[in-house]
Structures are given as structure tokens and as C-alpha cells.
Amino acid sequence: MSTAFQYDVFLSHNKADKPRVRALAGRLRLAGLRVWFDEWVIAFRFAKYYFSRRFY
């Protein structure tokens, strides 16, 4: 079992805090951290799945 993590930071937040968390996620990414932020990760995974199915 690997002990390596894919992300350095996981951001959990309330919908009302989304703008502040989005800004924080951007600053953390610029600082070189691998950030799990729902808008980035979930949207990417959905798009990857959608486009992989669309062309078959």
C-alpha cells in the first residue's frame, strides 16, 4: 500500500464561502501545493468521463 498522497491540501467548505475558498485555492496552487478543490477536481473528472464516452 502506497503512503503517497495525490494532493497536499483538501479544501472543505460551505457554499457561502466558495469565493473565499476559491481565492485561497488559487494562492495555495501558486505556492506550489497540490490542491483538491471541488471546482477543479470534480469538473475535470466529469469532463474526462464525458468526453471519453462521447466519441465511442
Q: How far, in Å, CA of 14 to CA of 49, rounded?
A: 26
Long-range contacts of 13-17 (CB under 8 A, 24+ apart): none
pTM listed for this prediction: 0.70
pLDDT for 49 equals 66
Task: Work out the burial of residue 25: count CB atoms within 10 Å of its CB; fewer than 13 is exposed, 13-18 middle, 19 or more buried.
Answer: buried
pLDDT tens digits, one per residue of 5-26? 899 999 999 999 999 999 999 9
pLDDT tens digits, one per residue of 16-54? 999 999 999 999 999 999 999 998 888 766 666 666 766
pLDDT for 23 equals 98
pLDDT for 45 equals 66
